[in-house]
Amino acid sequence: MALLVNNAKFKNTEVTAPEVYVRLQYLAMADGKLASVALMTGLDKAGALAYAAVPVNLPEQLLVTLEEGQAQDLATIHDKVKASLEALELGLEVTVQL
């Protein structure tokens, strides 16, 4: 799974990056309420998997809160990060790729 992000800008510029491929690494906390998520961005899947990071205006890490009864699974974490990125009001269009 990954996130595909459109309308991200290269850091410190107004230049819009092509679609950015984002892989997630997460650590689910023992309390079941929080997960720390690292975002690995690349111009494509191979770049992200090779840690060839692309400097864009996305956070490198997020802390997401899970609701009571929500699973700490891959699908939930992707949905939470998608919502967090869209809430940044940067005009990002985020799609979860299965």
Domains of the chain: which residue ranges? 2-97
Give per-residue burial for 38-60: e unless 16+ CB within 10 Å, then b: ebbbbbeeebbeeeeebebebee
pTM of the model: 0.92
> What is residue 51's predicted lDDT score, i.e. its pLDDT?
86
The confidence score (pLDDT) of residue 96 equals 97
In sequence order, the 6+-apart residues with CB closer than 8 A to the CB of 88 are 59
Using CA atoms, how far residue 44 sits from 5, 33, 76, in Å, is 11, 31, 23
What does the alpha-carbon distance between residue 32 and residue 30 come to, in Å, rounded to a whole number? 5
Per-residue confidence of the chain (98 residues) as pLDDT tens digits?
999 999 999 999 999 998 999 999 999 999 999 999 999 999 999 988 888 889 999 999 999 999 998 999 999 999 999 999 999 999 999 999 98
